[in-house]
């Protein structure tokens, strides 16, 4: 959420937010001129045109209640991220059970060194930027696609990358097959002119390849990998 808030702020939107406790990240947002409230209170959304919330927010949250009573639109974090993908010509979403943040960090650093001026929104701090977001004027955006709560199925990137696949989030998925089905849907949400990139070093990702109906590139240490 903090990376998205920073990016929207840099795009010229008037952003405010709240968290249960102050942290280094909320302080850095405050230093950018973003108003951050400590604790959740129904007055925190006064004047808001839209309220964006994450999967961690409960339905009985006072700010959610206030937004509903005032008929202020409520948008999930994943939905707002999907809107941000439309800002750039090329959108790259990194999915997978492990390594999403690391892969996004590496790709963001490589694209920056290549002077493509990318935009980056991820969950962790990138050492090179000392932030979890950068707002570049190039035509590429890189984001982390989280499978929790199936939120990544909201995204329609022009390129989707899958690092690996292990059974996690059993509160959202019934079994491994259910999780694999979600990743197949994520891959097939890429437009016909896009690309899906899959690691072949993990048997659970290899198993979904036959069901991906989009242009495919494989990578890894396996002898059959293309890259």
CATH number at residue 44: 3.40.50.720
pLDDT for the residue numbered 24: 85
Q: Provide the mean pLDDT of the chain.
A: 93
| CB-based contact 104:173 (threshold 8 Å) | no
Give residue-wise pLDDT tens across range 21-58.
988 889 989 999 999 999 999 999 999 999 999 888 88
Say if residue 209 is in the same domain as residue 135.
yes
Give residue 3's pLDDT: 87
Q: Is residue 113 part of a domain?
A: yes
**Number of structural domains in the chain:** 2
Q: Write the CATH number for 160.
A: 3.40.1190.10
pLDDT at 171: 80
Task: Kindly state the average pLDDT of the residues 208-222.
Answer: 97
In this structure, the answer to whether residues 122 and 172 fall within a common structural domain is yes
Query: Is 112 annotated as catalytic?
Result: no
Residue 117: pLDDT band with limits 50, 70, 90 = very high
| 128 carries an active-site annotation | no
Whether 167 has a pLDDT exceeding 90, the answer reads no
Confidence of residue 139 (pLDDT cuts 50, 70, 90): very high
For residue 7, the SS3 value is helix
Annotated catalytic, 133? no
Q: Residue 196: which of 162, 149, 146, 151 has the closest Cα?
A: 162
SS3 111: helix
For residues 202 and 50, give the distance between their C-alpha atoms in angstroms, rounded to a whole number: 41
Q: Is residue 119 part of a domain?
A: yes
If one compares 44 and 125, the residue with the highest pLDDT of the two is: 44
Identify whether 12 is part of a domain. Answer: yes
Backbone angles phi, psi at 22, to 5 degrees: -70, 150
- What value does the mean pLDDT take over residues 156-181? 92
For 53, the domain range is 2-72
| 69-103 confidence digits (pLDDT tens) | 999 999 999 999 999 999 899 999 999 999 999 99
Catalytic residue among 6, 63, 133, 144: 144
- Which residue of the set 100, 103, 112, 154 is catalytic? 100
Residue 224 lies in a domain: no
């Amino acid at each position: 959420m903090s990376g998205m808030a920073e990016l929207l702020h840099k795009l010229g939107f008037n952003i405010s937010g709240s968290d249960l406790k102050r942290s280094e990240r909320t302080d850095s947002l405050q230093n950018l001129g973003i108003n951050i409230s400590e604790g959740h209170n129904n007055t925190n959304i006064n004047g808001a045109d839209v309220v964006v919330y994450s999967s961690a927010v409960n339905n009985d949250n006072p700010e959610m209640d206030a937004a509903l009573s005032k008929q202020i639109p409520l948008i999930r974090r994943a939905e707002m991220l999907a809107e941000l993908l439309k800002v750039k010509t090329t959108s790259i979403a990194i999915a997978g059970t492990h390594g999403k943040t690391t892969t996004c960090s590496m790709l963001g650093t490589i694209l920056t060194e290549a002077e493509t001026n990318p935009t980056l929104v991820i969950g962790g701090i990138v050492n090179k930027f000392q932030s979890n977001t950068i707002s570049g004027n190039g035509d590429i955006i890189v984001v982390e696609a989280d499978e929790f709560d199936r939120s990544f199925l909201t995204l329609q990137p022009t390129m989707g990358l899958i690092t690996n696949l292990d059974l996690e989030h059993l509160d959202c998925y019934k079994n491994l097959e259910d999780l694999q089905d979600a990743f197949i849907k994520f891959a097939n949400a890429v437009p016909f002119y896009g690309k899906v990139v899959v690691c072949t070093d993990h048997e659970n990702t290899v198993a979904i390849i036959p069901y991906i109906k989009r242009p495919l590139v494989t990578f890894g240490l396996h002898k059959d990998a293309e890259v």
